[in-house]
Amino acid sequence: MPLSDEELAQLCRQDSKHFDPLVTRYAEKIRRYIARLIGNWQEAEDLTQDVFVKTFTNIASFNPKLKFSSWIYRIAHNESVNFIKKNYRHRIVEFSDEIKNKLVDHGTNYRMILEKENTQAIRIGLAKLRHRDREIIELAYFEQKSYLEIADILRISVNSVGSMLNRAKKNLKKIIAKNDQIRR
Amino acid sequence: MTKLEDKIKHAVQDKKPKPKSYFVIQNTLREIIVAILWLACVVLLGAIIYLLQYFPWRVFIRPRFFLHGMAGLPWELVFLAALLIVVLYFLTKNISTFYRHRNILIAALVVSLLAGYFIAELSGLNETIAKAKPLKPLYQQYGKFIAPERFPGTIGEITSVSENQITLLDQQGNEWTALIDDRTKMPGSLAVGKRIIVIGAINNHEIKAQEIGEFAGRRGFGNGRPAGPRRMY
C-alpha cells in the first residue's frame, strides 16, 4: 500500500528520497493551479519549482494534523500572490491556448458548466475576474477541494468559503452577461 | 518522469530541510510576543475602565459640552489597545482552529481579555503595575492617578463657599477658585467637604463656572482598597 502524502512528508525529514513521490504526485497539479492564477505557463513552471524548494526546506514545519495537499497549495497560493504583486498584472489575465485546453480538459464539474455555457465566454469571464474570485472558483471547481481544504489554503473561515464562492460565481455571471451584451 | 519533475528534483538535490528546532524557536518567540501583547492589552483595559469609571459623564447631557467630553475620553489608550488587539489578531489568525472559525478567535480574544482584566484587578496586579517606578509617570498622566487636566472639568473637594465663589482643592493639592454668576448651573446644595466637578473656562487657577455638579467617582476600586498611594481628593 503506498504511503500517504502526510507520511511521506514526515519521512522526508529523515531521508530526502521520500520527497520524490510527492513531486510526482503534485508537480503537474501545482503547475496547472499556478498557471491558471497568473495566466502564464512558463512563469508557472519556474514558480512551481520554487514552491517545491520551499516545501522541501520547510518540511519540518508541516503539521501532520493538516492535509499535505492543503499545505502545498497554500505555499503555491503565497508564491502566486507574491508574483502577481511583484509584477503588478492587470486585472485581465490573458490565458494562453495551452492553458485554455487544459482548463477544458480538467474537472468534471467545470466540464458540466462548460457544456451549458459558452466556453469562450467563461474563459474571458474568468480572466477578467478579480484574483481572489478566480482563485476560489479555481479551487472549488478545478481542483475539487472541499470547503475545509479551501479554508486551509486561503486561511479564511469555512463560512467565508461559501459566501466568497457565491460572490465569485455572481461576479463571473455578471462579467459573462456584460460581455454578451457588448458582443450583441 | 516529466521535464518539470526532473527540474524540481534537480533543484531540491542541493537543498537541506531546515531543522525542526528552527521552527520550534520561531513558534516559541511568536507565542512569547502574543503573551506580552495580551498582558499589555489587559493592563491597558484596566487603565481605560478605571478612567471611564471616573469620567464625568454628565458633561454629555448638555450638548455644548459634548466636544469637551469627547476630547477628555482616553482616546490614545483606546487607540493603543485597539492596535495591540489587531496585532494579536494577526499573530493568532494563522492557527488552524482560529482561521477556520474566525468567530472563535474574536470571542476568545474578548473573553480572555475581560477575564484577564478581572483577574488583574482582583489579584491587585493592576495596582502593583500602577505603582511600579518606571510606569508611575505614565499612570500619573493616564492611568490610576488620573490627571484632572484630562477631564473637561476640574474635580476637587470644597474648602469654602461664598456667595459668588467656591474654593476647591484638587487631587494634586492645588487650590482652585470657581467664580459663580447667575448663569452658572448648580446642584441643590454645596457644602465644605463635598466633591464637585466644575466645568468652565480656566484662567490662572480661576474657573469661570458654567456648570457645577456633584462628583460621583468612587473612592476605592475593585478590591476595596484605595486606587493609588495618594489620597483620592
Domain borders along chain B are 20-141, 153-214
Detail the DSSP E strand segments found in A62-168. none
Detail the DSSP E strand segments found in B52-205. 154-161, 165-169, 175-179, 195-203
Look at A28 and B15 and tell me if their CB atoms are within 8 Å. Answer: no
Q: Which three cell numbers stand for residue B92?
A: 493568532
Calculate how close chain A gets to B14, using CA atoms only, in Å. Answer: 10
Region class of A50: left (phi > 0), else alpha (psi between -120 and 50), else beta: alpha
The pLDDT > 90 percentage for chain A reads: 30
Q: Are A70 and A41 in contact (CB under 8 A)?
A: no
CA-to-CA distance for B79 and B85, rounded, in angstroms? 10
DSSP A96: P
Q: Which three cell numbers stand for residue B67?
A: 466636544
Q: Are B171 and B146 in contact (CB under 8 A)?
A: yes
Q: Are B198 and B168 in contact (CB under 8 A)?
A: yes
- pLDDT exceeds cutoff 70 at A137: yes
CA-to-CA distance for A132 and A154, rounded, in angstroms? 9
Q: Is pTM, for the whole model, over 0.90?
A: no
Look at A53 and B94 and tell me if their CB atoms are within 8 Å. Answer: no
CA-to-CA distance for B31 and B22, rounded, in angstroms? 14
Please name each of the domains of chain A with its CATH number.
Answer: 1-89 (1.10.1740.10), 92-184 (1.10.10.10)
Q: Hey, what CATH topology would domain B153-214 get?
A: OB fold (Dihydrolipoamide Acetyltransferase, E2P) (2.40.50)
pLDDT band of B54, cuts 50, 70, 90? low
DSSP A107: -
Sign (positive or negative) of CA dihedral B60, B149, B157, B51 = positive
Look at B100 and A152 and tell me if their CB atoms are within 8 Å. Answer: yes
Interface of A with B (CB under 8 A): 12-13, 16, 19-20, 23-24, 27-28, 31, 45, 48-49, 52-53, 56-61, 63, 65-66, 148, 151-152, 155-160
ipTM of the complex: 0.71
Choice among A16-20, A134-138, B24-28 with the minimum mean pLDDT: A16-20
- pLDDT exceeds cutoff 50 at B164: yes
DSSP B142: T
